[in-house]
Amino acid sequence: MKLLAITPPADLPVTGARIPGFAVRVALMITGALLTVVGYGVSGWLAVGIVLSVASAWLPRYLLGWALILFLAAGQLAREPALNWRLLVLLAGLHLLHVLAMLALELPWRAWVQPAVFQAPLQRFLVIQAPSQLLAILALLLLAPSHAGHRPLTVAGFAVVGTLALAAVGMLLFGPGSDDNRSP
């Protein structure tokens, strides 16, 4: 495929800047390869991640982007639960891979799209990532063990907090003054 063969049709009116459809696939491939380096480092698994990255960009109809997401997430299972930059980058990167894989699935190779096409997916990405990153930080600060092995909030403590929260929700829903407790 030559770059000269990918030109916008002459019968389309000039509508401003356009991005070739294959740019989304290139971004998917680069993001997958970089996340593999972040997740696995320089090891034998790097080759698997790069092959999955290239295959997910080349053949999006086979949903290999989601196989890449599962591969990268599985790499995190071998690490100890701790708050570090790798986990936060991986959390955002896996979501970005999902967005890019969806766009690669919809955009043909020879498509020309305007940058406005990416506005809604990127806004949703940011709206979802802001609370997700905060919840990940909060959960790891409360549940992950420190270097001394001490956990700020144990499973038993978490169960007590959850039980109290459930009781509070029950009181709000079925407590005095609710319509369900009135006799006919």
* pLDDT at residue 169 is higher than 80: yes
Q: Partners of 156 in the beta sheet?
A: none
Determine how β-strand 19-20 pairs with β-strand 112-113: antiparallel
Q: How many CB atoms lie within 10 A of CB 31?
A: 20
Residue 182 lies in a domain: no
**Residue 153 and residue 109 share a domain:** no
The total number of structural domains that make up the chain: 2
**Residue 73 and residue 47 share a domain:** yes
Distance between CA atoms of residues 71 and 32, nearest Å: 10
Overall residue count recorded for the chain in this entry: 184
Residue 82 or residue 115, greater confidence: 115
**Residue 83 and residue 120 share a domain:** yes
Q: CA 158 → CA 80, 145, 150, 151, 172, distances in Å?
A: 20, 14, 15, 11, 21
Residue 6 lies in a domain: no
* pLDDT at residue 17 is higher than 80: no
**Residue 116 and residue 41 share a domain:** yes
Residue 179 lies in a domain: no
Residue 77 lies in a domain: yes
The token duo for 8 is 């916008």
The arithmetic mean of pLDDT across residues 41-66, rounded, is 94
Q: Which residues lie below 8 Å from residue 29, measured CB to CB, with a gap of 6+?
A: 53, 54, 56, 57
* pLDDT at residue 3 is higher than 60: no
The token duo for 122 is 């990127």
Distance between CA atoms of residues 32 and 35, nearest Å: 5
**Residue 82 and residue 55 share a domain:** yes
Residue 78 or residue 25, greater confidence: 25
The pLDDT, as a whole number, for residue 153 is: 66
**Residue 121 and residue 43 share a domain:** yes
Residue showing tokens 């997958």 = 32
pTM for the full predicted model: 0.73
The arithmetic mean of pLDDT across residues 53-82, rounded, is 92
**Residue 149 and residue 126 share a domain:** no
Q: Return mean pLDDT, the chain.
A: 85
The pLDDT, as a whole number, for residue 170 is: 85
**Residue 165 and residue 102 share a domain:** no
> Is 112 within 8 Å of 8 (Cβ atoms)?
yes
Name the DSSP letter for residue 109.
Answer: T
Q: Give me the domain span that covers residue 150.
A: 144-174
